[in-house]
Amino acid sequence: MGARWNQRVVAGTAVGAAAVLASWLGVGTARAATALSIAAVVLVAALALISSSEFRRDHPVVARAAISVAAVDVSLVVTGFFSSTVDSNLAIGAAMSIVLLGLSFLTGSSGQISIGNGAFMGVGAFTVAIWANHHATTPIAVVLLLAVVAGALVGLLLGLPATRLRGPYLAGMTLAFAVAFGAVLNLFSTWTGGDSGLQLPYAVNAPAWLVHFFQPGTSSLTTNSVWLVDVTIVTAGIALFFMANLFASRTGRAMRLVRDNDVAAELVGISLPRARVIAFTVSAAYAALGGGLWTIINNAVTPATYGFALSITILSLVVIGGIGTIPGALIGGLIYAFAASVIAWFTAHTGLNPQGNVASQLNGIIFGGLLVLTILFAPTGIAGFVRRRWAAWRSR
């Protein structure tokens, strides 16, 4: 740790101190400012760790944890300043980015693709709702873990043929699963509530001590959406951390070698039967986690949400964001968070009838079109495009 390391610490501390000072001056209550100060200190510490290349090399796992912490830290602070609408969108998008991380890993590590991850999301979403309706006292973190386990089990079951299947066959099978998922739910309609789905028996609220800290004297946060988005972001951060380690594992490294070698070969992975099943299972588990979070955010679940269309949307997002990469999944989540708003804005400003056929189909036309164009002309998506531009810019 030489002179540059010290410079970084000094600079980071200075920035952190400035942020703390600014927060004390700019934020209304002393307690909010305290929270901001803590966030600033955590961020500076995390950034200090990440910025050292020696540290990244010697302690890669801790460095990845620091990256996740830094990302979560910034996101949490930022959500406090947004409207509840934006926060809800972000929560939905953050949950989606977990789903996309899973699919990205599947493709990146095995060259396989799933068109059924919407259904795996449904597995998680219904697991959470069913469990919560029968055991209302189970802590929410445990319920989410159950959703992950359920997703992994279903994924394993469907993924077993994946050891022997070539890509298009597997894709077709996942498509059949996505189409059949409604019937699966119907089969267990006494548990899943049939067409109307299920309500959560309780709203997921912030714990009392936290409410007390920020808004002494009130029983809950004024906007629950902040709490929900924060829960989602923290979960996404944990998912990101695990995924980063998976990507860096032996399988992940082999996959990256192939990927960075050639633009055309970008999507080709290594082909080990066991790795394939694991990747498929992981991707299903991640999808289930995202679905479980959606149930918590919406406080309800309906089967219609988890139809074939969702699976296609997931595929679009991961390809447009940049398949097989972590940033691609996060970009896809962000796109999903704001796509509806952007399209609504577009509709409003082009004078389309918002209730008309064209306006209601814009989403599909745009996503489908982007999906085709991306795979034809920029198969590495936004993440790959930015990475190449960045590399070109640096090598100039």
Partner 1 sequence: MGSFLTSRNVADVLGGLTNGVIYSLVALSLVLVWRSTRILNFAQGAMAMIAAYIGFAVLAPTTNYWVSMAVAIIAGLVLGGLTERVIVRGLYGKPEINPVVAMVGFLLVLESVAAAIWSTTSRGLPTPFSIVDWQINHKPVALSPFALYEIVTAVVVMTVIALLFQFTKLGLKLRAAALAPEVSRLLGVRVGRMLTLGWMLSSGVGAVTAVLVASNYFTGLTPTTMDGVFAFGFIAAAIGGLDSPVGALVSGVSLGIILQFVGDYLNSNDIILVALGMLIVSLMVRPNGVFTRSAQRRV
Which residues lie near partner 1 (CB under 8 A)?
107, 111-113, 115, 158, 160-161, 164-169, 171-173, 175-177, 179-180, 183-184, 186-187, 264-268, 308, 312, 315-316, 319, 357-358, 360-365, 367-372, 375-376, 379
Match 């996959």 to its residue by tokens. 255
Q: Cβ–Cβ contacts within 10 Å for residue 158, how many?
A: 22
Q: What does DSSP assign to residue 166?
A: -
Identity of the residue, 26 or 369, whose beta carbon is nearer to partner 1 in the bound complex: 369
Shortest Å, Cβ 371 to partner 1 = 3
Q: Environment class of residue 219 by beta-carbon count within 10 Å: exposed (0-12), middle (13-18) or buried (19+)?
A: exposed
Identity of the residue, 145 or 254, whose beta carbon is nearer to partner 1 in the bound complex: 254
Shortest Å, Cβ 167 to partner 1 = 4
Identity of the residue, 153 or 179, whose beta carbon is nearer to partner 1 in the bound complex: 179
Shortest Å, Cβ 336 to partner 1 = 15
Sign for the CA dihedral angle at 81, 230, 241, 283 comes to negative
Closest-CA residue to 289 (of 64, 69, 71, 117): 117
Identity of the residue, 286 or 308, whose beta carbon is nearer to partner 1 in the bound complex: 308
Backbone angles phi, psi at 200, to 5 degrees: -75, 140
Shortest Å, Cβ 283 to partner 1 = 13
Shortest Å, Cβ 38 to partner 1 = 43
Identity of the residue, 4 or 164, whose beta carbon is nearer to partner 1 in the bound complex: 164
CA dihedral 347, 348, 352, 358 (to 10 degrees): 30
What residues contact residue 388 under an 8 Å CB cut-off, 6+ apart?
380
Q: Environment class of residue 300 by beta-carbon count within 10 Å: exposed (0-12), middle (13-18) or buried (19+)?
A: middle
Identity of the residue, 336 or 367, whose beta carbon is nearer to partner 1 in the bound complex: 367
Shortest Å, Cβ 374 to partner 1 = 8
